[in-house]
Structure 1
Amino acid sequence: MVAEVEVPAGFVPQYAVAFGAVDGPAVAVQADNPLPVRAVPRPAQSAPLAGTIVSSAIVGPFVPELDRPIWLSLSGQWHGQVDFLRSADGGATMLPLTIAGERWGRFVGSTNEAVADESEAGATYYLAVTLLGGALTYRVAQ
């Protein structure tokens, strides 16, 4: 909304958020003139799931924060397969990730990538590790 300053007043009281430039007048915040800020996310508070294993096992749970990417890192001298699993019932049922009905989230070599972005409260993640040899170092974090 734009309003003219009428005489005898030399000012317009602002009853909305406004900001000013160093060398200019205050300007009301509106759709065409937003606050000059950007959102800065805080560091994730979820505890990473990390370790090294030398035999087959199911590792977890990893409890993610919502609306943040989940990163999986697998490294070391190892042979086998790792499946990234999701549970919505506290681990009673662990299901593989899929895309268009096809299994996804199965790894047979070292990796470092974002694998999921969770939006459901209470969902947890697990690694189903089938080792044929070597030692696998893993990390699931945000």
Structure 2
Amino acid sequence: MAEDVIDRITRDHREMLRLGGRLRADPERRAAARMRLDALVRGHVRAVERHVHPLVTRELAVGQPVDERTRALDRRMETLLDRLARSAPGSEYEAVADRMVDAVTEHVRFEEAEVLPHLRGALAPERLASLGELYGLARDR
């Protein structure tokens, strides 16, 4: 059986957190972790904005406030990724990396507490599965 959208998003969240840990703790792998995190976060944001946010605002009881908060967290991660790419190794990089990890953690906690449970409760398993396929295609393009 194909992964549903919640499984895919949760798996991506775990990878984001793992890569964030590498930004802080593994100087030899830092550049590779930043590039992979950048691609994963941007793909995740693109896919969620295309396929999940419309559902949240149209069909779920949590609606607009949750969607606005999620979008704000997404923008924060993208802004920090841009800053991280421009930061030189040293104290500025460390500070931006710390803020990036905090932003990813906040995003994951919020989305998993306020968005994903509502999706699970509101959508049939077949719809979650088809949404998972759409999410994966949008994330990887």
TM range (shorter): under 0.3
**Bigger relative contact order (CA 8 A; separation at least 6):** 2
Which of 1 and 2 has greater Rg?
1
**TM, length-normalised to structure 2:** 0.26
**TM, length-normalised to structure 1:** 0.26
Q: Which has the higher strand share?
A: 1
